[in-house]
């Protein structure tokens, strides 16, 4: 009768874990569903263009609804007015709404106001509602159909042009 060695069992077990590890981390980076953030927003009754094209990764906690979107870098995008995205944008995602938003601001009359919530209560109305703290702003849903291009912050552009690389002075250290 052949005898099984504990060492060979251990090697087999470690090989299985090594093969499963990358698969589970890929699913987590894609929000657990394997799709894009833009598809996820559409599935939740929101337009795909709420976040720019430069999404690096995202996570969605399906139990709490907490959505965290990581961009390549902070940037500006143009809708009806200029919008600013931090490198990480967070909010609580539910059907037709993103509440408790952090990392997203819109320019209003030369002021930068944080977007605190986004709501599409009736998609057939063609209107999306932005809670900018002091007021609610109604915009056309058509502005958000496609993910916008996102331009880097001015200081990043200057650093790249002057230094010929990304990262500015921090990269020089």
C-alpha of 158 from chain center: 25
In a domain, 98, yes or no: yes
Tens-digit pLDDT string for the chain (173 aa) = 555 554 444 334 434 333 344 333 333 344 445 589 999 999 999 999 999 999 999 999 999 999 999 999 999 999 989 999 999 999 999 999 999 999 999 998 889 999 999 999 998 999 999 999 888 999 999 999 999 999 987 665 555 555 555 554 444 44
pLDDT score, position 32: 46
pLDDT score, position 164: 58
Tokens coding 151: 């331009």
pLDDT score, position 133: 85
pLDDT score, position 134: 81
pLDDT score, position 108: 87
CATH number at residue 83: 2.30.240.10
In a domain, 3, yes or no: no
Neighbours of 100 (CB within 10 A): 13
**SS in 3 state form for the chain?**
CCCCCHHHHHHHHHHHHHHHHHHHHHHHHECCCCCCHHHHHHHCCCCHHHCCCCEEEEEECCCCCEEEEEECCCEEEECCCEEEEEEEEEEEEECCEEEEEEEEEEEECCEEEECCEEECCCHHHCEEEEECCCCEEEEEHHHHCCCCCCEECHHHHHHHHHHCCCCHHHHHC
pLDDT score, position 26: 35
In a domain, 51, yes or no: yes
Q: Are strands 97-108 and 111-114 parallel, antiparallel or unpaired?
A: antiparallel
Count of domains in the chain? 1
pLDDT score, position 135: 87
- CA-wise closest residue to 88 among 133, 48, 57: 57
Q: Which domain holds residue 91?
A: 37-155
In a domain, 124, yes or no: yes
In a domain, 118, yes or no: yes
In a domain, 162, yes or no: no
In a domain, 168, yes or no: no
In a domain, 10, yes or no: no
pLDDT score, position 141: 95
8 Å CB contact between 111 and 97 = no
* pTM (2 d.p.): 0.70
């Amino acid at each position: 009768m052949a005898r099984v060695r504990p060492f060979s069992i251990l090697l087999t077990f470690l090989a299985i874990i090594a093969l499963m590890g990358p698969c589970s981390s890929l699913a987590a980076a894609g929000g657990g569903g394997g799709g894009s953030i833009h598809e996820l927003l559409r599935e939740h009754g929101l337009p795909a263009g709420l976040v720019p094209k430069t999404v690096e990764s995202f996570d969605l906690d399906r139990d709490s609804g907490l959505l965290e979107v990581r961009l390549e870098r902070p940037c500006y995008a143009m809708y009806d007015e200029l919008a600013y995205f931090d490198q990480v944008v967070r909010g609580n995602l539910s059907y037709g709404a993103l509440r408790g938003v952090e990392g997203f601001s819109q320019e209003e009359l030369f002021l930068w106001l944080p977007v605190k919530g986004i709501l599409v209560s009736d998609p057939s109305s063609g209107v999306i509602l932005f809670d900018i703290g002091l007021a609610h702003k109604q915009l056309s849903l058509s502005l958000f159909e496609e993910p916008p291009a996102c331009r880097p912050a001015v200081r990043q552009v200057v650093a790249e042009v002057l230094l010929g690389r990304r990262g500015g002075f921090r990269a020089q250290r």
